[in-house]
A and B are shown apart, each in its own frame.
Chain A
Amino acid sequence: MSPDLSLELCGIRLEHPILNGSGTFDAIAAHRAFGDAVDERLPFSAYVSKTITPERRAGNPPPRLYETPAGMINSIGLPNKGLEGFLMEDLPDLVRLPVPLCVSVMAPSRPGFAALVERVGQRDEVAAIEVNVSCPNVKSGLIVGEQPGETLALLEVIRPLTDKPLIVKLTPNCSDPAAVARAAAEGGADAVSLINTLRATGLDPTTLDPWLGATSGGLSGPAIRSIALDQVRRVVAQVSIPVIGMGGIETGADALEFLALGASAVAVGTASFRDPAAARRVRSELVSELVSRGLDRLPSPHVPSTST
């Protein structure tokens, strides 16, 4: 018998534990390239949008990509249509997807976050909101997610504005992500997700100048997996809300490691660039992993941890 991959995350029923990382799978663009097959065979159990901001953003000047050993640095700079553009143009398109929709939001100020959470939260099509306090590309984003006090203060503003689950996406670029996770939980977050990309730079091999148009960016891919695993381990030990783990997941075995550490669900990011349907393979490999271990369901989240 095939293992049961289903779960309930923040009150949302999911068929399996594999989501997409925000900003790594654009279902609307993918539909232009692959047609209806994307919707019919969407490999994620919930769809997380690219982060939206209050105002439209063009993004950073090119070049925006730099390949590293087993990974890549991006300095994309959160291009998006802004809140109004998203609600009017993208949201109607995204409801087509056969899975719950989670909208990722980020703003340069608390009132900005409040406006996003309030407006997005009013939409029935939206199942959950991910609060991006961690994107390393935008100067203002760093501050909140680096400090427990800032994170708590933000949650105190936005928590009363919606009944929808709030998932706080943590930044790995701070000394104690678990302390920030605790602050998020204290402020009423329903879950935390991690890790976002790690701050990184790449040089032009010829000129030895920084390669990226924005000088530095964020590292993702298998290169960051061990760091992600350790941060997930530390966060799981400190909070009792669900943890969504990500960072370099490419195979079912990788996903199982995050789940075994106590993550409730996982997300596939950069691996989708190598193969748009990578998450589908991750899922079937996860099934094989469970079967080969004689498990008929996912490891139970939040295995009590003794050390941090």
Chain B
Amino acid sequence: MTDRVLAPFGRRRCAVVANEATGGYRLISALDEGGPPPRAGQFYMLAGAGWGGTGGRPYLPRAFSVAEAEAGADGVRLDFLCEAVGPGTGVLAALAVGDALHLTGPLGRPFSTPCELAPGAAGAILVGGGIGIAPLAILRRALAERGVPQRVLLGFRDRAHSGGLDLFRCSEVRTASEDGHTGHQGYVTDLLAVLLEGDDADSAAVYACGPAAMLEAVRELCAARDVPAELAMETPMACGFGSCFGCAVPLAGGGYMRLCVDGPVVRAEEIETAMVAGSGH
């Protein structure tokens, strides 16, 4: 799981094969005839028909974690979970079946297996918040295929900021929501704190993706209990392949990493903070 899958050099044109609402998000699927199946945690730089439209934005491609991928005879079907928050995600959310989706990828460093993170780790706890549940869906399946036992904890702000739960079909999921519309009323990290008090915490590795504040809370919980954790992070990205140096994340020892090539999956102890200015919305 650890080795990154290399991307073909250059962006390629794919066709959108589905674009459906799932709660407050869109699940956009494209058929990639020119690239390899990605690893869980990798991402693609996406641009669509209508790029550079009204007002000249979006101009740069947008980074998207792959939420699910299935290799078939015609190519790899890639699923992306999209929350429309601005011009780029707005254009992507409105793509119709048959429209062009330009993509570069798979990019970045994927998730590790629990035993790669810590020799004693046998099980996985997946913690997702909001749109950050996307890479955990493909991770869950990859872990299941390796027979790694797992628990999935997903948190949402409210009904409008939730969706994509179907991606976790056939697994037991515990949810939390700040408005109480589903599961525990409160934060998903409340659920994590309870799990980490239990017996299996000793042999668990935590995988988290979500808002910066959630990632920071996960980092602190895991550090306090000495549980290994990997975080899938976000920053604004211009290129996605290490060339613009725009995606800086502060390192624990000083200096910065480039999240697009040294991440987006990082070990919790590598970074100084998950609260990187400009990375949230």
Contact between B47 and A274, CB atoms less than 8 A apart: yes
* Residues of chain B in range 202-239 having any CB-CB distance to chain A below 8 Å: 235-239
- Any B CB within 8 A of the CB of A41: yes
Residues on B with C-beta less than 8 A from A65 are 60, 236-238, 244, 246-247, 278
A70 pairs with B255, CB closer than 8 A: no
Asked if B242 lies at the interface with its beta carbon under 8 angstroms from chain A, I say: yes
Instruction: Name B's interface SS.
Output: loop
Contact A72 B60 (CB under 8 A): yes
Complex interface: chain B residues within 8 A of A274 (CB):
11, 47, 59-61
Q: Which of B8, B9, B247, B276 neighbours the largest number of chain A CB atoms within 10 Å of its CB?
A: B9
Chain B, range 247-265, C-beta contacts under 8 Å to A: 247-250, 254-256, 258, 261
CA distance in complex: A280, B11 (Å): 11
Q: Give CA–CA (A35, B248) in the complex, Å.
A: 22
Comparing B50-58, B180-188, B189-197, the segment that makes contact with chain A is B50-58
CB closest chain-B residue, reference A56: B255
Contact digits for A215-234, partner B, Cβ 8 Å, 1 yes 0 no:
00000011100000000000
Q: A67: CB under 8 A from chain B?
A: yes
Q: Total interface residues on B, using CB and 8 Å?
A: 45
Q: How far is the CA of A72 from the CA of B58 in the complex (A)?
A: 10
Residues 48-73 of chain A, each 1 if its beta carbon lies under 8 Å from chain B, else 0: 00100000001111111101111110
> For the complex, what is the distance from the CA of A60 to the CA of B246, rounded to whole Å?
10
Nearest CB on B from A270, distance (A): 8
Check if B56 sits within 8 Å of A59, measured CB to CB: no
Residues of B within 8 A of A26 (CB): 241-243, 245
Interface string of B102-113 (1 = CB under 8 A from A): 101001100000
Residues of B within 8 A of A (CB): 4, 6-11, 47, 52, 55-61, 102, 104, 107-108, 235-250, 254-256, 258, 261, 276-279
* Extra A-B contacts (16), CB below 8 Å, given A26-B241, A63-B278: A24-B244, A26-B245, A29-B243, A30-B241, A41-B9, A61-B248, A62-B248, A62-B256, A64-B248, A65-B60, A65-B278, A74-B238, A79-B245, A79-B248, A272-B239, A273-B244
The 15 sampled A-B contact pairs (Cβ below 8 Å) are A30-B9, A34-B7, A35-B9, A59-B256, A64-B246, A64-B248, A65-B244, A65-B278, A67-B57, A74-B244, A79-B248, A270-B238, A274-B59, A276-B11, A276-B239
